[in-house]
């Protein structure tokens, strides 16, 4: 074997101090090959680092085609030692090889993605000793620190150089007596195999960049003048460990990443708590504290908070003073944060949270060049983003669209199509405008969307084609394969299941009537004219077989919205009007039988459907300009409201709808309310009637003293124990009113007649009362006039 000089350089993943020291060490060593901890499938992707379009933070994505649950990310920031090693090698014209266990084995070994492993040497394997789980923490405790991050900053990040030999010796002491097994042992065996292959290939100056934990397993304990490999497991032992490993076909590419996803709190095992701060330490080696506090002042000024230069000067003094008191070589994040809170924010935690989000964590989004391997669907989306001037951003961005403008209309269609594919780049928000030609969105690009696009590439090569194919699959009762979840693997970003799935990911098949009508609406919003007839045919067939009126009522609102949006957007929606009319007709026929024999829960559910249909009919009237649907619907409600076996909630709500629609007047509503609250009905039913009647708003009681007196008289006439029983219902009813409504009702109650009399003497019909008077006198044994 050729004699080679192998330098094993242990680093802290995503450590700016390690990155700076590594650059200096590589300049000194001038290696003829650089081996980096990472999946070897990425060897062919290293050349893309020459492209200025590959801007960190980025990540290597490994995935198994057709098995989206098997995927993992390896992120790189500009301050990651591995990234700087890649850049150094590319600029020096030196070959780069990744030396970790191939992703093909890691992804195959774990059905739900490879196990999560912190790239700074922590793994969640309960069988490993605690020191393996946190070697940095062990060194920190030995140095008298209770915070490993702070110890690393003091001992490494704030030093001008990193003594790689000292770190190697420290890790050897930490690992003493530890025998790796399982996945960790296989990883280190493969790293040694890669080093041996580089030696065999004739390289003489080999630099190995890996997590500090692995240094003793790769460097060994060489004797003076001995070749590399002394004190390490033999080739035979390593081959035995690696023999027979399961394997899958894994594909690899670069994808954009964000500092928010790099943070440890996001679920990424090798993450750091403050990637924005570490980025600052790396790029601002000169006067980092002064520059940081100046930038923080700028962030606060952008929010119109008064921060002067004097504030910055005093904050710098405070941060330095705290560092001296605590015996630190340089003010760290804890000190500058306290200075920001005390001086720049004057003790207010809210602006401190703003600094935390924008600067300490940061939301910088990386970029990959067009030469990066991509599926056609990803490339088409990138072209659409450029054409529509929609740049992906990691920070939340509010976007208001005017659908009357061609550019905004196309943007809306793109976002709706992506949502059908489970790529929730845009989240619809309630528009601040009342017009249907307005849409509001919140745009947030997440790194895992690239994996979603790779998965959705099976549906088509363009966004419209893929969305249309996905719709047909949903109509046929298919289920989109569960989205690939970032695996935790060696250096992977997160354990399987840590990523929230998109809107269409893993969704239940749209075979219900309501699901099909919702799909019609989404087809119109996304402008999928080829898929729409397919959905309408399925909807008509399903509606003809569905006899449950509540299913029909649930389906109608979405169809009405679809018809209206089709008109606003100019999207052809032939056949919608016929389907809407048929659904409304069947609802009107079946409602009478659906409103009887209901318990409280069923009545409340039906009430929700009634309100939905009522709102839809009003929207349909506005769209069609016809009175026929509204007239037919109100006649149905009028007929149902006269039944004697209605639930109190339903009867009260129907009465209120008819009153608001002008089908009933206040004079005719009074007797209905009197009957509902009479002693012949249980108090609970009367309370339910009131709840249904007042669910449309409480201003009616403010403007109609007669109805208010009826309610007030019923309440004051309840027995104490009965009042306690119905109090929860009353609280729910009146609690739904706004504070001004409640105040107005209270004021009106105070003006009612002290006798709480609903009627006056002038209201008595003496002719009708005469018969009752004679009967009472007979019972008393008296005659008229005595």
Distance from chain centroid for Cα 103: 28
Of 333, 321, 325, nearest in space to 296 by CA: 333
User: Tokens representing 781?
Assistant: 């044994």
Q: Which residues of 458-473 are buried (b: 16+ CB within 10 A; e: fewer)?
A: bbbebbbbbbbbbbbb
Cβ-contact 308, 367 below 8 angstroms: no
pTM over 0.75: no
pLDDT score, position 666:
67
DSSP secondary-structure letter at 179? -
pLDDT score, position 295:
95
Radius of gyration of the chain (CA): 36
pLDDT score, position 494:
33
Mean pLDDT by 10 residues, the chain (786 residues): 80 84 92 95 93 92 83 91 95 94 86 39 38 62 67 65 76 78 88 94 94 87 66 90 91 90 58 84 88 95 92 95 87 91 93 91 88 90 93 88 91 94 91 72 90 87 92 71 32 35 40 78 86 84 79 82 65 69 84 84 89 85 60 87 84 85 77 76 80 75 74 77 79 79 79 51 69 82 66
Distances, alpha carbon 120 to alpha carbons 78, 146, 203, 338, 764, in Å: 17, 18, 28, 27, 90
Give CA–CA dist 535/541, Å, rounded. Answer: 10
Give the pairing of strands 426-429 and 438-443. Answer: antiparallel
pLDDT score, position 310:
95
pLDDT score, position 117:
36
DSSP secondary-structure letter at 118? B
Cis (ω within 30 of 0) for the bond into 57?
yes
Question: Residue 733, by phi and psi: left (phi above 0), alpha (psi -120 to 50) or beta?
Answer: alpha
Of 532, 375, 369, nearest in space to 456 by CA: 375
Find tokens 């009957």 and name the residue: 675
Rounded (10°) CA dihedral 560, 563, 568, 569: 130
Give CA–CA dist 189/154, Å, rounded. Answer: 33
pLDDT score, position 490:
31
CB atoms within 10 A of CB 454: 22
Give CA–CA dist 263/681, Å, rounded. Answer: 62
pLDDT score, position 433:
60
User: Tokens representing 488?
Assistant: 């935790």
Give CA–CA dist 361/352, Å, rounded. Answer: 12
Cβ-contact 597, 609 below 8 angstroms: no
Q: Which residues of 608-620 are buried (b: 16+ CB within 10 A; e: fewer)?
A: ebbbbbbebbebb
Question: Residue 593, by phi and psi: left (phi above 0), alpha (psi -120 to 50) or beta?
Answer: alpha
């Amino acid at each position: 074997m050729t004699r080679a000089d192998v330098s094993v350089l242990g680093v802290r993943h995503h450590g700016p101090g390690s990155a700076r020291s590594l650059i200096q060490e590589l300049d000194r060593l001038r290696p003829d090959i650089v081996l980096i901890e990472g999946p070897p499938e990425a060897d062919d992707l290293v050349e893309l680092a020459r492209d200025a379009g590959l801007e960190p933070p980025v990540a290597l994505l490994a995935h198994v085609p057709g098995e989206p649950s098997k995927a993992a990310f390896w992120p790189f920031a500009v301050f990651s030692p591995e990234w700087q090693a890649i850049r150094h090698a590319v600029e020096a014209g030196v070959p780069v090889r990744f030396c970790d266990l191939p992703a093909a084995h890691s992804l195959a070994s774990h059905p739900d993605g490879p196990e999560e492993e912190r790239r700074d040497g922590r793994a969640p394997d309960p069988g490993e000793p605690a020191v393996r789980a946190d070697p940095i923490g062990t060194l920190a405790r030995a140095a008298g620190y209770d915070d490993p991050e702070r110890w690393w900053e003091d001992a490494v990040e704030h030093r001008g150089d990193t003594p790689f030999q000292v770190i190697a010796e420290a890790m050897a002491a930490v690992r003493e007596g530890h025998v790796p097994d399982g996945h960790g042992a296989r990883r280190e065996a493969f790293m040694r195999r890669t080093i041996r292959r580089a030696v065999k290939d004739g390289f003489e100056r080999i630099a190995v960049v890996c997590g500090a934990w692995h240094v003793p397993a790769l460097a060994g304990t060489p004797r003076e003048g001995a070749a590399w490999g002394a004190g390490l497991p033999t080739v035979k032992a390593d081959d035995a460990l690696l023999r027979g490993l399961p394997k899958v076909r894994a594909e690899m590419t670069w994808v954009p990443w964000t500092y928010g996803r790099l943070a440890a709190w996001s679920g990424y095992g090798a993450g750091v708590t403050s990637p924005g701060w570490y980025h600052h330490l790396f790029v601002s080696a000169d006067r980092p504290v002064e520059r940081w506090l100046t930038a923080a002042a700028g962030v606060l000024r952008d929010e119109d908070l008064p921060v002067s230069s004097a504030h910055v000067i005093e904050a710098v003094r405070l941060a330095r003073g705290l560092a001296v008191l605590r015996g630190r070589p340089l003010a760290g994040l804890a000190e500058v944060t306290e200075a920001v809170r005390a001086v720049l924010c004057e003790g207010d935690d809210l602006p401190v949270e703003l600094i935390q989000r924008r600067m300490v964590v940061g939301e910088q989004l990386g970029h990959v060049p067009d030469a990066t391997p991509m599926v056609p669907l990803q490339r088409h989306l990138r072209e659409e983003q450029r054409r529509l001037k929609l740049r992906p951003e990691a920070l939340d961005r509010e976007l208001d669209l005017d659908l009357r403008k061609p550019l905004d209309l196309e943007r809306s269609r793109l976002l709706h199509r992506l949502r059908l594919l489970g790529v929730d780049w845009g989240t619809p928000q309630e528009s601040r405008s009342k017009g249907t030609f307005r849409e509001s969105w919140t745009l947030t690009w997440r790194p895992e969307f690239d994996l979603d696009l790779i998965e959705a590439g099976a549906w088509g090569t363009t966004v419209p084609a893929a969305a249309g194919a996905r719709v047909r699959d949903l109509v046929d009762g298919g289920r989109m394969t569960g989205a690939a979840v970032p695996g935790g693997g060696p250096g992977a970003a997160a354990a399987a299941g840590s990523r929230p799935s998109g809107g269409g990911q893993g969704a239940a098949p749209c075979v219900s009537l309501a699901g099909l009508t919702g799909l019609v609406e989404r087809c119109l919003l996304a402008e999928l004219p080829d898929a729409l007839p397919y959905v309408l045919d399925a909807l008509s067939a399903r509606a003809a077989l569905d006899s449950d009126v509540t299913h029909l009522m649930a389906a109608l609102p979405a169809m009405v919205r679809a018809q209206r949006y089709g008109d606003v957007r100019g999207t052809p929606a032939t056949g919608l009007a016929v389907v809407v009319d048929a659904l409304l007709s069947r609802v009107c026929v079946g409602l009478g039988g659906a409103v009887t024999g209901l318990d409280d829960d069923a009545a409340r559910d039906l009430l929700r459907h009634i309100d939905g249909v009522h709102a839809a009919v009003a929207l349909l009237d506005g769209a069609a300009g016809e009175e026929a649907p509204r007239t037919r619907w109100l006649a149905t409600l009028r007929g149902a409201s006269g039944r004697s076996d209605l639930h109190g909630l339903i009867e009260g709500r129907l009465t209120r709808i008819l009153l608001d629609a002008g089908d009933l007047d206040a004079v005719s509503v009074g007797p209905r309310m009197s009957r509902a609250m009479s002693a012949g009905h249980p108090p609970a039913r009367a309370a339910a009637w009131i709840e249904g009647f007042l669910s449309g708003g409480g201003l009616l009681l403010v403007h109609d003293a007669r109805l208010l007196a009826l309610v007030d008289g019923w309440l004051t006439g309840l027995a104490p124990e009965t009042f306690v029983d119905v109090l929860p219902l009353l609280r729910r009813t009146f609690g739904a009113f706004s504070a001004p409504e409640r105040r107005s009702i209270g004021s009106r109650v105070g003006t009612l007649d002290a006798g709480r009399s609903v009627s006056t003497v002038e209201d008595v019909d003496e002719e009708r009362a005469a018969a009752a008077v004679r009967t009472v006198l007979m019972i008393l044994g008296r005659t008229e006039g005595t």
